[in-house]
Amino acid sequence: MVPYRVTRKRMTEITDSIVEAVREKAAEYDLKYGVVVVSYDGGACFESLAMGEKEMHSFTLELGGSQVLPPEATEDEFTCDCLGVAISKINAADKAYMCSERRVLVSEQSSDEDNILGRKNWGGCVIYPLSTGSAMCGKIMVAVSGGTEAQDIDCAWAAYEAITDLSPCQVVNPGRAAYYK
């Protein structure tokens, strides 16, 4: 039995706080188009998710904005649906996390062997594993797409404080500075 359970209400509070933190960071870069995806990977700590079940929530980087980059492009111009890219980042990071015995926490560190066939592992997804004591009980993944790779990475790391402040479970992610040491 897990001593702390993340309720549906708490998941909503965490999600709202993550989105607010990411949007603030994205505004510093003047990112108007793009998406932030918050993914919950079910484990014993989420009372509303079955073991192994995932739940994803997507939001535009700018309130009322567009997830298509750039939305005003004509047929002849390049456009990118950032939602698909963000989900690819989540999948790549999740696979690398599992293949590395839970050591890799970011999508940009996925190795070629851990790569999803036919996909490039872009930076911009950070995994926030959760535990109660010594038992892993779930994870929250935050992916951002809409800026440069460095901007997306910076925005995904902006979620750290929101998650550590609101999660009743221990966040097994040391934070950006400690992780890259």
- What percent of the chain stands above pLDDT 70? 86
Query: Who wins on pLDDT, 71 or 160?
Result: 160
Q: What is the pLDDT of residue 74?
A: 65
Q: What is the pLDDT of residue 53?
A: 84
Residues in the chain: 181
Q: What is the pLDDT of residue 8?
A: 87
- Lowest average pLDDT, out of 18-32, 66-80, 110-124, 138-152, goes to 110-124
Residue 29 has pLDDT above 90, yes or no: yes
Question: What is the distance of C-alpha 75 from the center of its chain?
Answer: 31
Q: 4: pLDDT confidence band, cut at 50, 70 and 90?
A: low
Q: 151: pLDDT confidence band, cut at 50, 70 and 90?
A: very high
- Per-residue pLDDT, averaged over 36-60, amounts to 87
Three-state secondary structure readout of the chain: CCCCCECHHHHHHHHHHHHHHHHHHHHHCCCCECEEEEEEECCCCECCCCCCCEEEEEEECCCCCECEECCCCCCCCCCEEHHHHHHHHHHHHHHHHHHCCCCCCEHHHCCCCCCCCCCCCCCCEEEEEEEECCEEEEEEEEEEECCCHHHHHHHHHCCHHHHHHHCCCEECCCCHHHHCC
pTM of the full structure:
0.90
**How many angstroms separate the CA atoms of 140 and 106, rounded?**
12
- Per-residue pLDDT, averaged over 26-41, amounts to 94
Q: What is the pLDDT of residue 35?
A: 95
Residue 115 has pLDDT above 60, yes or no: no
